[in-house]
Amino acid sequence: MDLQNLREHHEELLSFMENNGYSSTYIQRFRDEINRILTDADSSRWQSYRDIYLEYLKVPHSKDYLRNKRTIIGALEQFDFFGRLPDGRHRHTLFERGSYHLLEPEFQELIDFYRMYEKQRGKKESTIRGESLNTASFLYQMQEQGAQCLDEVTEDAVLSFFVSEDGSLRKGCSYKKNISAVFKAGLDWKEPQCQRILSFLPLLRETRKNIQYLTQDEIRLLRAAVESSGFSARNKAVILLLLFTGLRGCDIAGLTFNSIDWEKERILVEQQKTSMPVEIPLSAVVGNAIYDYLEQERPDTGSLSLFLTETHPFSPISAQDIANIVSKACRLAGIRQDPGDRKGTHIFRHNLASSMLENGVPQPVITQTLGHTAPDSLEPYLRADFVHLKKCALSIEDFPLAGEVFSL
Residue 381 confidence (pLDDT) above 60: no
Cα-based distances in Å from 4 to 8, 9, 66, 72, 224: 6, 9, 26, 18, 58
Rounded CA-CA distance 175/187 in Å is 19
Mean of pLDDT over the chain: 85
Q: Of 251, 252, 247, whose CA–CA distance to 235 is shortest?
A: 252
pTM of the prediction?
0.54
Residue 231 confidence (pLDDT) above 80: yes
Share of the chain above pLDDT 90, in %: 46
Return the percent helix, strand and coil in the chain, to nearest 5: 60, 5, 35
Q: Of 202, 133, 134, 195, whose CA–CA distance to 164 is shortest?
A: 202
What's the pLDDT band for 356 if we cut at 50, 70, 90?
confident
Cβ-Cβ contacts under 8 Å for 262 (sequence gap 6 or more): 282, 287
What's the pLDDT band for 275 if we cut at 50, 70, 90?
confident
**Element holding 130 (H helix, E strand):** helix 125-144
Query: What is the per-residue pLDDT for 352?
Result: 75
Which letter, b or e, does each residue of 158-192 get, where b requires 16 or more Cβ atoms within 10 Å of its Cβ?
Answer: beebbeeeeeeeebebebbebbebbbebbeebbee
- DSSP class of residue 193 equals H
* Model pLDDT for residues 116-134, shown as the tens digit of each residue: 999 998 888 888 988 999 9
**Higher per-residue confidence, 394 vs 293:** 293
Rounded CA-CA distance 77/54 in Å is 14
Residue 385 confidence (pLDDT) above 60: no
Rounded CA-CA distance 198/369 in Å is 38
Contact 163, 169 (CB under 8 A): yes
Widest Cα–Cα separation across the chain: 89
Contact 283, 338 (CB under 8 A): no
Rounded CA-CA distance 385/353 in Å is 9
Query: What is the per-residue pLDDT for 339?
Result: 82
